[in-house]
Structure 1
Amino acid sequence: MTGAPRPPGPGPTAPRPPGPGSTALRPPLRVGLTGLGSMGRHHARVLAALDGVELVGAVDPLGDREGRAQGAPVLRTLGELIALGIDYAVVACPTALHVDVGLELARAGVCALIEKPLADTVEGARRLVTAFESRSLVAGVGHIERCNPALRSLRLRLESGELGEVYQVVTRRQGPFPHRIADVGVVKDLATHDIDLTGWVTGREYAAIAARTVSKSGRPHEDMVSAVGRLGDGTVVNHLVNWLSPLKERFTSVTGENGCFVADTLTADLTFYSNAAQRTEWEALQAFRGVSEGDMIRYAIPKREPLLVEHELFRDAVLGAPADICTLRQGLRTVEVAAAVLESAASGTTVELAAPAVAR
């Protein structure tokens, strides 16, 4: 999606050169925030210190008793925020409100960064895509794992062919139940991270998915899912996601012909386990470990806060610079796959997915 923001003041302004370190003189982009909850407060913190933007207001019907808005005025309605003359908004309200809030922003000509998932239904996600694309507005989805240092390094290494042919992607994302989540289950909340990052790091789309879910916490939504899928090139994917474990884990492994990458997105560590260059002659180890064990490398990579990187990329996209943001169409695809996961779990069948209208 392309398009330029409305000028922040009377008369047009020339966009500054992209990049987080730019200090070119120009009026800052005027940014608004909807929602001051567990994610909204972090968005406010980053926006308040982000070069080239000004947090001009936040919306939360509950107010801001804890001072999360970083000194910005806290308003009661989205209309009041739009009336301040904002260039873009960050949507961090509950998922069930994303469609209504996003459509109102699009009608007002305001660009938007919408927290993941894009919407709680496929139809709602499609409405958002149409609303922003039809007005040529920059819009993205806050799939923050795309900005995790370990996964960004992993993606670059896969693109350069370091792993050779990719065979399998495995993710585990588990931990205690977050009481802030009330409107969706673990599939639409946590599992959308794994669905998006799998397609993003491999550059492939889901072709089929089979899943099973359980609900053990007494809530109306599922709190555990186990899924097996297939990407368009035949790569096998496995996802285990739950809110039922006291162990917090964020694990992604990609196995291919040259070895295996393992990313821990809690610590932003990336490790490579290579296939052996030398044959193991110890017969007992051959039987137990095989003959393909090779070197292990833990990469030293820069570790910047993912949320800050996400905001820098979206700011630059609004300014018209090339930026690797998660587009609304990509966010829509993630919602489609999540819906297929739930359909498979309900029907006990494997769900085949049609190719998206626009490739990743």
Structure 2
Amino acid sequence: MANLRAGLIGLGMMGRHHARVLASLPGVDLVAVADPGGDVHGVAGGRPVEADIEALIAHGIDYCMVAVPTVYHEQVGLTLAEAGVHALIEKPLAQDTASSTRVAEAFAAKGLVGAVGHIERYNPALQQARSRIEAGELGDLYQVVTRRQGPFPARIADVGVVKDLGTHDIDLTAWVTQQEFTSVSARTAFRSGREHEDMVAAVGQLSGGTITNHLVNWLSPFKERVTVITGTKGCFVADTLTADLTFHANGQVESSWDDIANFRGVSEGDVVRFAIPKPEPLRTEHEQFRDAVLGKDADIVTMQQGLRTVRVAEACIESSKTGQVITV
């Protein structure tokens, strides 16, 4: 069977990493790349460098990786759909709910495989957490808490921290719990003099009764990527910077110390850091999308899921403006 012919549009900070993975992906030939600004990072590897999506499509590609700024996702996505080209679009799916809906509907109408690049879903720590939750290792889920903090990334200019970083936490929370957001309440701050928010604190309610809390900002002088999932049997702590997953079990040892014994919560139990394989999340994401295009079983972030994430992100922004809890 001939290899799939892939194209890549957008050769910026993320595009260069997509180019590296696509160039070495079994069963795939990266045939051409495109960016109106040219190949500034030198990732083309001798392949044609086009200026726009139409020229890229002319190379007869089967699918395309879209890594352009969010404001161009709709335009590029609709052009690919019209041409009958499958697409993996970097998160978020598009700049707002209306544009995301148009893109998702266009791919569905053509029967194309469309996916969104929420890469955190493929982090080994979260992949392990998801499978262990499914196996019942946490019992009933109570709460998901995420902290995603770090310095300002100069490459982001067209969206705020909610749609750029917060969408990671919205997607991974819904995926790891297999529950949807039903309502959110959020507060944002504008501290760096930019048009968009650079800090958010959000609380959410999920369809299965789990509650969530998300702290996201571009204002911390350190980098933190932590997800804490609490259930009846204990707690998973996933550090997605190191891809480590730690389990804190509820204690089973009775205490003879009255002050402690009278405490009505759980007690500390064993702590285990799992030894797990750690493949590169970006490579796993591309492998899954390739398999989806080939019609194989694959775990992709569908465009309908990506649309749902955009809706939740916009509900967070609306809540911050109105001071109200927003039903999703």
TM bucket by the smaller chain?
over 0.9
Q: How many residues align?
A: 328
For residue 295 of structure 2, give the secondary structure of its aligned residue in structure 1: coil
Contact 2:11 2:41 in 1 (8 A): no
Residue of structure 2 equivalent to 1:358? none
- CA-CA distance at 1:287 after TM superposition: 7.7
Residue of structure 2 equivalent to 1:333? 308
For residue 86 of structure 1, give the secondary structure of its aligned residue in structure 2: coil
Which of residues 101, 115, 129 in structure 1 aligns to 2:90?
Answer: 115
> Over aligned residue pairs, what C-alpha RMSD do you find?
1.4
- CA-CA distance at 1:65 after TM superposition: 3.6
Q: Please give the alpha-carbon distance, in whole angstroms, between the structure 2 residues aligned to 1:289 and 1:223.
A: 39
Q: Which moved more, 1:191-200 or 1:158-167?
A: 158-167
For residue 164 of structure 1, give the secondary structure of its aligned residue in structure 2: coil
Residue of structure 2 equivalent to 1:132? 107
- CA-CA distance at 1:27 after TM superposition: 1.3
For residue 110 of structure 2, give the secondary structure of its aligned residue in structure 1: coil
Q: Please give the alpha-carbon distance, in whole angstroms, between the structure 2 residues aligned to 1:186 and 1:286.
A: 43
Contact 2:254 2:261 in 1 (8 A): no
Residue of structure 1 equivalent to 2:243? 268
- CA-CA distance at 1:284 after TM superposition: 6.6
Q: Please give the alpha-carbon distance, in whole angstroms, between the structure 1 residues aligned to 2:75 and 2:21.
A: 25
Q: Please give the alpha-carbon distance, in whole angstroms, between the structure 1 residues aligned to 2:65 and 2:133.
A: 31
Q: Please give the alpha-carbon distance, in whole angstroms, between the structure 2 residues aligned to 1:107 and 1:240.
A: 39
Q: Please give the alpha-carbon distance, in whole angstroms, between the structure 1 residues aligned to 2:20 and 2:219.
A: 30
Give the letter for the 1:192 counterpart: T
Q: Please give the alpha-carbon distance, in whole angstroms, between the structure 1 residues aligned to 2:139 and 2:45.
A: 47
Q: Please give the alpha-carbon distance, in whole angstroms, between the structure 2 residues aligned to 1:312 and 1:91.
A: 16
For residue 244 of structure 1, give the secondary structure of its aligned residue in structure 2: coil
Structure 1, residues 260-317: CA drift from partner, whole Å, max 9, x if none? Answer: 1000000000000000121133457658997611000100110000000000000000
Which of residues 71, 74, 83 in structure 2 aligns to 1:96?
Answer: 71
Q: Which moved more, 1:210-219 or 1:289-298?
A: 289-298
Q: Please give the alpha-carbon distance, in whole angstroms, between the structure 2 residues aligned to 1:274 and 1:234.
A: 21
Residue of structure 2 equivalent to 1:302? 277
In the alignment, structure 1 residue 351 sits paired with structure 2 residue 326: yes
Give the letter for the 1:105 counterpart: L
Q: Please give the alpha-carbon distance, in whole angstroms, between the structure 1 residues aligned to 2:40 and 2:227.
A: 38
- CA-CA distance at 1:168 after TM superposition: 0.4
Give the letter for the 1:145 counterpart: E
Structure 1, residues 130-185: CA drift from partner, whole Å, max 9, x if none? Answer: 10000000110010011100000000111111111110000000000000000000
In the alignment, structure 1 residue 230 sits paired with structure 2 residue 205: yes
Q: Please give the alpha-carbon distance, in whole angstroms, between the structure 2 residues aligned to 1:138 and 1:227.
A: 32
Residue of structure 1 equivalent to 2:136? 161
Give the letter for the 2:195 counterpart: P
Give the letter for the 1:209 counterpart: V
Q: TM-score, normalised by structure 1?
A: 0.89
Residue of structure 2 equivalent to 1:144? 119
- CA-CA distance at 1:96 after TM superposition: 0.4
Give the letter for the 2:141 counterpart: V
Counterparts of residues 308-323 of structure 1 (less than 5 Å): 308-323=283-298
Structure 1, residues 53-100: CA drift from partner, whole Å, max 9, x if none? Answer: 011111111111431223321111211110100000000000000000
In the alignment, structure 1 residue 258 sits paired with structure 2 residue 230: no
For residue 57 of structure 1, give the secondary structure of its aligned residue in structure 2: strand
For residue 134 of structure 1, give the secondary structure of its aligned residue in structure 2: helix
Contact 1:279 1:291 in 2 (8 A): no
Residue of structure 1 equivalent to 2:30? 55
For residue 222 of structure 2, give the secondary structure of its aligned residue in structure 1: strand
Which of residues 21, 37, 61 in structure 2 aligns to 1:46?
Answer: 21
Contact 1:171 1:253 in 2 (8 A): yes
Q: Please give the alpha-carbon distance, in whole angstroms, between the structure 1 residues aligned to 2:200 and 2:33.
A: 35
- C-alpha spacing 1:318/1:296, structure 2 compared with 1 (3 Å): same
For residue 209 of structure 1, give the secondary structure of its aligned residue in structure 2: strand
* Structure 1: 4+ residue segments shifted above 4 A: 282-291
Q: Please give the alpha-carbon distance, in whole angstroms, between the structure 2 residues aligned to 1:286 and 1:67.
A: 64
Q: Please give the alpha-carbon distance, in whole angstroms, between the structure 2 residues aligned to 1:345 and 1:290.
A: 33
Identity %: 62
In the alignment, structure 1 residue 183 sits paired with structure 2 residue 158: yes
Give the letter for the 2:16 counterpart: R
Give the letter for the 1:139 counterpart: G
Q: TM-score, normalised by structure 2?
A: 0.98
Contact 2:16 2:41 in 1 (8 A): no
Q: Please give the alpha-carbon distance, in whole angstroms, between the structure 2 residues aligned to 1:300 and 1:277.
A: 24
Q: Please give the alpha-carbon distance, in whole angstroms, between the structure 1 residues aligned to 2:265 and 2:104.
A: 49
Counterparts of residues 239-250 of structure 1 (less than 5 Å): 239-250=214-225
